[in-house]
Structure formats: structure tokens, C-alpha cells
Amino acid sequence: MPGAGTDKTKDWIEEPGPVVILVEPQLGENIGAAARAMANFGLSRLRLVRPRQPWPNDRARIMASGADRILDGVALYDSLEGAIADCSFVLATTARAHDQAKPVVGPAEAAALAAPRIAAGETVGVVFGRERNGLENDEVALADRIVTLPVNPAFASLNLAQAVVIVAYEWFKLASGAKLPFVMPAKSAPAPKQQLLAFFASLERELEKVEFFRPPDKRETMQINLRNIVTRMAPSQQDIQTLHGVIMAIAEGRKGPARGGVLDGPEAEILRALLAEQDTVRGPKERGPMRGLARFLRRNPTEAERALWQALVNDRRFAGCGFKRQTPVGQHICDFVSFPLRLVIDVVPADETAAAAAARGQKRAWLEAHNYKVLGIIAGDIESDMAAALERIGGAIG
């Protein structure tokens, strides 16, 4: 599997490029890091002039992090003159002014100077000096151009591999046309105006419910500002669908029993008692009305449901259990259900009628027949001893 940017399934770039020449590099680690930088930007030819440590070097191979083919192709030389003998154009990198009448260029200009020569089949060398004191005057004198970087004059010395990576980057940027290896994927088309207008209508409808547009004389300006905020985003179709889902989740309290529903706690209990006494079983083709009812019940919880939900989501024992509220399971709406655990928690009213109890029994039988475990908890027990109720749920999970 590809690592952080390393993909062995892709072809290694073998385009012609300048030769990198390191003069008396002191540490094998720096040679390996320079080889890695070369591999990053498509350079493959590395020459070493009198390296201080024996070659081959294990530390260099470790620092190369997979750029082994560059180290395997290293050529050793006893002098800089020998290393540049076949070069028709030589660039000497340095951070110091050597007081020589020689043109000084930056790395981007150096790449531009090298490109036509390499395209014509010439060999271009880029020379890097020692870690401690760089190139000597007589070594710089062998070059056609001096390459330096716009750096802090009070701290101009770069690590050897850092200098190599900057020059190599400028070369590869020029050679590749600065084409990036990947771009943002277009997973969704831009949102059409019809979708945007529908989203604005839904958003403004929900904001109207909470009296957001105040004072009234500022309503039009506020609407225009909201629409401009979204339009400036240039949203995709998926963006608008996600935003619409967020707005409706907040408005309908899907993530939890937020207060502010149509019914208060006692009214919600009355509604559930009425539903329990009715034949609420629906056929498979009637899922739409059932889901609408589930959303309505979720938005209007009883006090016991609200308290139990808050306890569940705040108790670490139940993190990751995947509990949901007022969710359709087959032909029934369950108070709480964990699909991963196949566990249903049934909140039972203390003064349930015989008809409601019979309907609850039928629902329990259906759920158990479909491999759900059903745990019934009296609503009054939740309100009087939440800790005990949670212990029962924990026991059922265990």
C-alpha cells in the first residue's frame, strides 16, 4: 500500500536532468537526504567528490528512505575537475559572495539556463559544497554561473540536503510545467439555482419559526446577506444537501431530545398512550408515514425519554453502542434501539391501559422473533433512579 506520498505502483520519472555533484560531503546522512530530495524531483545522477566517510555508507541508505536507485548509481571522483569533465555548463551553489566576476542567478533562473542545454543533449552539473564551509574560491572559479538563494543574510547557511531540494524543486517545476500531481476531486456538480432557491426557502422558513428576522424592517437585508454568504461559497449539490440536512437536524432535534417541540412532556405521554392503543402496524409500502411519525415523536419526547437519552449519551459505558431514538424497526417505532447490539429499550408508562399493554406485548414478540433483545424500563423508574436504569441497560449489553 502506498505510504505518505510514496507509491511504488507508479513509474519512476527518468527524464534527463542536471547532474548533482557533492564536494567532500562530511556525513553519509546528508548524502542520503540529498538523494531523497533528488528522487522527489526527478533527478537521478549523483556524483561524490572525496566523501569523508567510506562509501557505500549504510547511514546514507537509511536517510535516503527508498531512493536506493540513486545511491546505487553514485559515481566517485578524486577531484571536482574530474567530476565536471564531461559537463558543458556548470552551476556552483554558494551562500557567500566570492568576489568573482561571474553572473549570479537564483535557482529558478538556473533551471531556465540548464533546460535548453539538457534538451540539446548536453551535460549540466550543479555543484554543492561542504557542510561546514561550502565551496572554495578555486572551485567556484570552475563554474559558469553562481547560484544563490534569497535567504536571511544573518543566517544564510542551509543544510546540504535543503540546498539540493530547493534547486531540484525549481528544476522539476520548470521541466514538468508546474503541473500538480493531483487536484481537488469534483465529486459533485455545482448546485443549480433551483436547488439553491429551495434551500433558501427552507432555511428562511425555519429561521422565521424562531423569529430570527428581527426587526421586521431589516428582514429583506438579512435575507440578502444570508443568500450572499451561501452564493459566495459556490456550493456543490452535495454541499447544499449537507447544509439542508444540518438545518433540518437542528430544527427537528434529530440528535437528541431538544426542548422546543410542539408538545410538552405530559402531552407527549398522552400521544404515545393513544398510539399504543391503536393498530399502528403498517405494511412495508407505508414506510413514509411511519418515518414521518417517528420524526414527530423524536421531536416531542416525554420527560423520561429526554432524561434517559441525556444519560445514555453522557455515559462512557454506552459510547459507540449506536443508540437511536424513536426509530422505525420493521413495522414498529422503538423508543431506543441499538442496531449493532440488536437491543431495544422500551420505556413503559406506569399506568398503561390493558389495550396499550397488549399492543406493547405484540411489538415485543415481533422484535424478539426478529432477534432483537427487548429491555422494558418503567418511566417512573427512570425519573426516580437513573443510576439503576443505566445499570440494567449495562447488564443487558453485557
Chain segment 27-38, per-residue pLDDT in tens: 999 999 999 999
Q: Tell me the residue range of the domain where 215 lies.
A: 193-252
Q: Are residues 71 and 207 in the same domain?
A: no
The residue-averaged pLDDT of 35-43 equals 94
Domain termination residue (choose one: 130, 149, 175): 175
Whether 212 and 239 map to the same domain: the answer is: yes
Name which of 174, 178, 206, 100 is nearest 143 in CA terms: 100
pTM over 0.95: no
**∠ CA(149), CA(183), CA(38), 5° rounding?**
40
Strand pairing report for 343-348 and 332-338: antiparallel
For the chain, strand residue ranges (E) read 19-23, 46-49, 75-77, 89-93, 104-105, 124-128, 145-147, 323-329, 332-338, 343-348, 373-378
Residue of higher predicted confidence among 101 and 20:
20
Distance of CA 393 to the CA centre of its chain: 36
- Whether residue 72 is contained in a domain is answered as yes
170-210, pLDDT tens digit by residue?
999 999 898 888 888 877 899 999 999 999 999 998 888 88
> Looking at residue 261, what is its pLDDT?
59
Asked if 290 and 143 sit in the same domain, the reply is no
Q: Given the C-alpha cell 533562473, which residue does it identify?
A: 109
| 3-state secondary structure (DSSP) of residue 93 | strand
Q: Distance (Å, rounded) from C-alpha 305 to C-alpha 166? A: 63
- Same domain? 197 vs 273: no
pLDDT category at 397 given cuts 50, 70, 90 is: confident
Q: What CATH number does residue 100 fall under?
A: 3.40.1280.10
- Which residues lie below 8 Å from residue 56, measured CB to CB, with a gap of 6+? 71
Mean pLDDT on 92-120: 93
Same domain, 220 and 287: no
